[in-house]
């Protein structure tokens, strides 16, 4: 039970930060703030745990707990009392029912997680292994970067291990229950964020439950969700970042952009692929803002605030890359290597495998249905800022395909068969969000992000 | 939102989604029931647990040699190594590099393990039920 306490502290941090950033005027409903806040809080706690490594060159549990509690208290004190109205803290019976339904949808993931309590292969050979080095290694934690550890992806950043270490700081043992619990929690947060994001932007209400149900009632997806890998976290942060942008576009409240920026910063500290995805997302969203005059004008009044948020969000991944991350031990540039050249047949293999993967029945037709739905939605799939989602996904996949082609360290078939499904899995929440926002809801063809949903009254 | 005003194209997508969810639920339930049944016959055992009995001896070491003659192209064998590494972290298991004081010998057969001990003039310190031997080299 003691391990629930760090989660509650993280939740408090994120929830209070969201209230602080959005202000009372355009704040979304409490339920959205709960899920988005919890996710953001996990990132904050992981980041604050990282400062222990920077300041003391080791994990000092008393410091980690102290700094997290201090952050919670600081955020609490920074709140405006006048904004804590009853209305801003109320959820409707329907919303409470939805939360129960989302918990029920997460149940198969929880059962699966207990059937494989140590998670999937990369949980014990990479993510949780890094967490154990951090927690048990004392000042020698950086031994995880030793060349002999090359199988554990030494260059990968540390947010997920740090989130687990944050919880372990409340006990003396690195119990397997913490990563297990966190993987189920993040799955639940992803489902809730997806549902309440859709509800904030379209008028489908309970029909939006189809979106998380489509993901979580898929045997393959729940296997990946319960595997204790970082891809789930990458996907959920991307979802939050996109929502930050879409809500900013609708309300012109820069607080949402700050939330999205923080999500991108945390995503870049989660996985190397997350760093690439964060960079692409920033470029695409910056273009979208530059092209929208109203957004552009709003931004110009808050540019320093946003730049400061950007710097804070990417501080941890920046320090990690400059100070700690070793060169990748699993990289051969196939364009210059004579031993392992990157031939055109390698690129062909990547495309063939990608095609087979998206057509595979293990996804329960997710990619086909999405493609079909978007075709039926016609031009609406690209209107009202929704074009940013395919732009981000296409650019990201192009980089991933390029990397599979250039890096000839691994046998391509083995590498694709073990990693490509996870990369696609990380994109599923964003893809489902796109599909459900692109579907026309009436014959007026109004793109859904322009609709005005009910908001909490303050 | 009035369901009647939803265009046919959207209704079609939502109905197909609902059908896939029903199929997915059946498939998920079937898989979970199957694995739960298997777990009742063969409870979950983490491979790394077989190595934890040597923790007290190797504590404080940076490296321990992990010597094996098993085929590491077979998933089961490389998984065994990875799980041993997980359980013994923050000690680094140096795979088939014998140049460290402690050797963790995990061979296919007992004679092979004995041959390794003899070759490196190593003194066995502890042996697990599964035949994994922790030994110390006398020359290092």
- Give the pairing of strands B63-67 and B92-95: parallel
Q: Tell the residue number behind the tokens 């997460």, with chain if given.
A: A106
Predicted confidence (pLDDT) per residue in B11-61, tens digit: 888 999 999 999 999 999 999 999 999 999 989 989 999 899 999 999 999
- Between the two ends of chain B, the Cα-to-Cα distance in Å is 77
Q: Do A132 and B89 touch (CB under 8 A)?
A: yes
CB A183 within 8 A of CB A117: no
For residues B53 and B117, state if they share a domain: yes
Q: Does A173 touch chain B (CB under 8 A)?
A: no
- How many CB atoms sit inside 10 A of residue B33's CB? 11
Identify residues of B whose CB sits under 8 angstroms from chain A CBs.
Answer: 1, 5-7, 9-10, 12-14, 16-18, 20-21, 23-25, 27-29, 31-32, 35-36, 39, 44, 46, 48, 62-63, 79, 82-83, 85-86, 89-90, 92-95, 97
Nearest chain B residue to A127 by CA distance is B86
- Pick the residue of A141, A145, A148 with the most B CBs within 10 A to test the interface with B by mutation: A148
CA distance A119 to A134: 19
CA-based Rg of chain B, rounded to a whole angstrom?
Answer: 25
For residues B77 and B60, state if they share a domain: yes
Tokens for B91, please give them. Answer: 């000690």
Q: Do B1 and A214 touch (CB under 8 A)?
A: no
ipTM: 0.93
Domain total in chain B: 2
- Pick the residue of A218, A228, A414 with the most B CBs within 10 A to test the interface with B by mutation: A218
C-alpha angle A379-A392-A324 in degrees, rounded to nearest 5: 170
Q: Do B20 and A214 touch (CB under 8 A)?
A: yes
If we measure between CA atoms, which residue out of A82, A323, A44, A370 comes closest to residue A210?
Answer: A370
Average pLDDT over residues A307-323: 96
Q: Tell me the residues of chain A between 207 and 236 that have a Cβ less than 8 Å away from chain B.
A: 207, 210, 213-214, 217-219, 222
Asked whether residue B5 carries a pLDDT value surpassing 90, the answer given is no
For residues B36 and B58, state if they share a domain: no
Asked whether residue A23 carries a pLDDT value surpassing 70, the answer given is yes
**Across the A/B interface, how many CB contacts are shorter than 8 Å?**
121
Q: What is the mean pLDDT of chain B?
A: 92
Please give, rounded to a whole number of angstroms, the shortest distance from the CA of B135 to a CA of chain A. 20
Please give, rounded to a whole number of angstroms, the shortest distance from the CA of A320 to a CA of chain B. 20
Q: Does A272 touch chain B (CB under 8 A)?
A: no
Predicted confidence (pLDDT) per residue in A102-123, tens digit: 999 999 999 999 999 999 999 9
CA distance B124 to B121: 10
For residues B35 and B51, state if they share a domain: no
If we measure between CA atoms, which residue out of A353, A352, A454, A333 comes closest to residue A405?
Answer: A333
Confidence of residue A443 (pLDDT cuts 50, 70, 90): low
Q: Tell the residue number behind the tokens 């804070």, with chain if given.
A: A312
CA distance A238 to A266: 10
* Percent with pLDDT over 70 in chain B: 98
**What phi and psi values does residue A226 have, to the nearest 5 degrees?**
-90, 5
Predicted confidence (pLDDT) per residue in A334-386, tens digit: 999 988 988 999 999 999 999 999 999 899 999 999 999 888 887 787 887 88
CA distance A140 to B61: 11
ω into residue A321 within 30 of 0, thus cis? no
DSSP 8-class letter at A225: H
Q: Which residues contact A350 (CB under 8 A, 6 or more apart)?
A: A401, A404, A405, A412, A416
For residues B21 and B83, state if they share a domain: no
- DSSP per-residue codes, A14-67: HHHHHHHHHTTTS---HHHHHHHHHHHHHHHHHHHHHHHHHHHSS--HHHHHHH
For residues B86 and B114, state if they share a domain: yes
- Name the pTM for this structure: 0.93
- How many CB atoms sit inside 10 A of residue B88's CB? 23
CB A212 within 8 A of CB A251: no
For residues B22 and B73, state if they share a domain: no
CA distance A121 to A427: 21
Please give, rounded to a whole number of angstroms, the shortest distance from the CA of B50 to a CA of chain A. 15
Average pLDDT over residues A192-206: 89
DSSP 8-class letter at A456: -
Please give, rounded to a whole number of angstroms, the shortest distance from the CA of B53 to a CA of chain A. 16
E strand or H helix at A166: helix A159-168
Confidence of residue B84 (pLDDT cuts 50, 70, 90): very high
For residues B89 and B23, state if they share a domain: no
- DSSP per-residue codes, A24-35: TTS---HHHHHH
For residues B25 and B64, state if they share a domain: no
Q: Do A129 and B85 touch (CB under 8 A)?
A: yes
Nearest chain A residue to B30 by CA distance is A219
For the ranges A231-245, A264-278, A433-447, B91-105, the lowest mean pLDDT is seen at A433-447
* Percent with pLDDT over 70 in chain A: 96
Q: Does A145 touch chain B (CB under 8 A)?
A: no
CB A205 within 8 A of CB A97: no
Nearest chain A residue to B96 by CA distance is A148
Q: Does A121 touch chain B (CB under 8 A)?
A: yes
Predicted confidence (pLDDT) per residue in A84-101, tens digit: 777 777 888 999 999 999
For residues B102 and B84, state if they share a domain: yes
CA-based Rg of chain A, rounded to a whole angstrom?
Answer: 21
Please give, rounded to a whole number of angstroms, the shortest distance from the CA of B100 to a CA of chain A. 13
For residues B22 and B59, state if they share a domain: no
Q: Tell me the residues of chain A between 360 and 389 that have a Cβ less than 8 Å away from chain B.
A: 364-365, 369, 372-373, 376-377
CA distance A123 to A119: 6
Q: Does A94 touch chain B (CB under 8 A)?
A: no
- Pick the residue of B6, B11, B18, B28 with the most A CBs within 10 A to test the interface with A by mutation: B28
SS3 (DSSP) at A340: coil
Q: Domain span at residue B109?
A: 47-137
- Give the pairing of strands B122-127 and B133-137: antiparallel
Q: Which of A143, A217, A365 sits opposite B90 (nearest CB)?
A: A143
For residues B71 and B10, state if they share a domain: no
Asked whether residue B77 carries a pLDDT value surpassing 70, the answer given is yes
């Amino acid at each position: 039970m003691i391990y629930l306490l760090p989660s509650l502290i993280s939740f408090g941090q994120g929830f209070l930060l969201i209230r602080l950033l959005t202000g009372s005027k355009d704040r979304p409903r409490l339920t959205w703030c709960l899920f988005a806040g919890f996710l953001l809080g996990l990132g904050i706690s992981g980041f604050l745990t990282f400062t222990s490594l920077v300041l003391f060159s080791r994990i000092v549990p008393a410091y980690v707990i102290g700094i997290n509690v201090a952050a919670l208290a600081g955020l609490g004190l920074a709140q405006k009392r006048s904004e804590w109205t009853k209305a801003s803290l109320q959820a409707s019976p329907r919303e409470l029912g939805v939360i129960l339904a989302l918990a029920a949808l997460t149940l198969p993931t929880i059962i699966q997680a207990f059937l494989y309590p140590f998670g999937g292969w990369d949980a014990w050979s990479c993510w949780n292994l890094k967490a154990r080095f951090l927690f048990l290694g004392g000042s020698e934690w950086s031994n995880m970067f030793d060349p002999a550890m090359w199988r554990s992806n030494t260059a990968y950043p540390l947010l997920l291990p740090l989130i687990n270490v944050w919880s372990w700081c409340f006990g003396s043992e690195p119990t397997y229950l913490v990563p297990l619990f966190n993987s189920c929690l993040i799955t639940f947060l992803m489902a809730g964020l997806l549902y309440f994001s859709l509800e904030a932007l379209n008028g489908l209400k309970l029909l939006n439950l189809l979106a998380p149900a489509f993901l979580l009632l898929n045997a393959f997806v729940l296997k990946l969700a319960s595997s204790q890998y970082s891809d789930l976290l990458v996907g959920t942060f991307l979802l939050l970042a996109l929502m930050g942008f879409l809500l900013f576009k609708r309300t012109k409240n820069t607080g949402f952009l700050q939330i999205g920026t923080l999500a991108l910063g945390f995503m870049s500290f989660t996985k190397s692929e997350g760093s690439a995805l964060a960079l692409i997302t920033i470029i695409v969203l910056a273009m979208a803002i530059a092209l929208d005059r109203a957004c552009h004008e709003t931004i110009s009044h808050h540019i320093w605030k946003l730049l400061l948020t950007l710097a804070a969000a990417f501080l941890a991944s920046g320090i990690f890359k400059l100070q700690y991350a070793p060169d990748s031990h699993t990289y051969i540039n196939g364009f210059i290597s004579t031993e392992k050249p990157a031939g055109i047949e390698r690129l062909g293999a990547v495309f063939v495998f990608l095609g087979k993967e998206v057509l595979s029945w293990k996804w329960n037709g997710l990619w086909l249905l999405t493609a079909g739905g978007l075709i039926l939605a016609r031009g609406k799939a690209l209107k009202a800022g929704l074009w940013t989602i395919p732009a981000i996904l296409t650019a990201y996949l192009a980089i991933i395909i390029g990397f599979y082609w250039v890096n000839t360290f691994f046998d391509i078939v083995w590498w694709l068969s073990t990693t490509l499904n996870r990369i696609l899995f990380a994109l599923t929440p964003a893809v489902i969000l796109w599909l459900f926002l692109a579907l026309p809801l009436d014959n007026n063809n109004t793109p859904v992000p322009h609709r005005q949903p009910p908001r909490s009254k303050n | 939102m009035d369901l009647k005003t939803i265009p046919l194209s959207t209704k079609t997508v939502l109905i197909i989604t609902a059908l896939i969810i029903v199929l997915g639920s059946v498939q998920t339930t079937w898989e979970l029931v199957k694995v739960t049944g298997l777990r009742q016959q063969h409870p979950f055992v983490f491979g790394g647990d077989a190595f934890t009995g040597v923790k007290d001896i190797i504590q404080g070491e940076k490296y321990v040699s992990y010597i094996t003659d098993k085929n590491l192209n077979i998933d089961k064998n490389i998984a065994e190594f990875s799980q041993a590494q997980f359980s013994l972290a923050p000690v680094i298991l140096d795979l088939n590099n014998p140049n460290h004081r402690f050797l963790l010998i995990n061979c296919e057969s007992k004679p092979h393990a004995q041959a390794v001990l003899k070759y490196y003039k190593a003194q066995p310190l502890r042996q697990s039920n599964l035949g994994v031997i922790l030994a110390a080299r006398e020359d290092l």
